[in-house]
Amino acid sequence: MTITMRTTTRTAQPTSTASRRRGTRAAAIGGAVVAASALFLAGRAAGTDFTVSGSGSGESDPFTLAQISGFTLQCGLLGWGALAVLERFTRRARAIWNTMAAVVLALSLVPIWLVQATTGTRVMLVVIHVTVAVALLPMSRFSASGRHGAESGT
């Protein structure tokens, strides 16, 4: 009688986790773009003009849907890239990225108060900025090692 033993390597788990992590991050960016675009359109429908002018210039520049969605996409991709770099070089990537995201959000709100704009425009821009930040938070959901909530204990 001959006994045959088979050994298999399990590569599905890391691939599955990496794929899930990429999917979560792509969905977060997509959600941020959709949310920002929807808020922009809702603001326009409610009468917000989204026109800002620099404090020193007399020129007024209204924001467009393409600018809002394009800038949101760029910020999301930059955030993903920053998180990927952090995951490669530190074990505290999630905590560092979340702190960086909070600082970037705070700094992104400053120009809203430095330009000339209606109160409605300023309020909508703040709402869009905060909504995008909240939508991008799930990007840090999975750590590079694939453990869900590895650094926060969740």
Among 31, 12, 33, 35, residue whose Cα is nearest residue 23: 31
Is 148 a residue whose pLDDT tops 50? Answer: no
**What are the structure tokens assigned to 116, written together?**
């000339």
Higher pLDDT residue, 26 or 54? 26
Higher pLDDT residue, 90 or 12? 90
Least confident of 30-34, 142-146, 147-151: 147-151
Q: State what percent of residues in the chain have pLDDT above 90.
A: 68
Instruction: Classify the phi-psi angles of 153: left when phi > 0, otherwise alpha if psi is within -120 to 50, otherwise beta.
Output: left
Judge whether 89 and 148 are in contact, CB under 8 Å: no
Among 30, 50, 55, residue whose Cα is nearest residue 40: 50
Q: How confident is the model at residue 150 (pLDDT cuts 50, 70, 90)?
A: very low
Judge whether 53 and 60 are in contact, CB under 8 Å: yes
pLDDT in tens, 42-84: 999 999 999 998 756 567 889 999 999 999 999 999 999 999 9
Contacting residues for 27 by C-beta, under 8 A, at least 6 apart: 138
pLDDT in tens, 8-20: 555 445 568 888 8
Averaged pLDDT score across all residues of the chain: 85
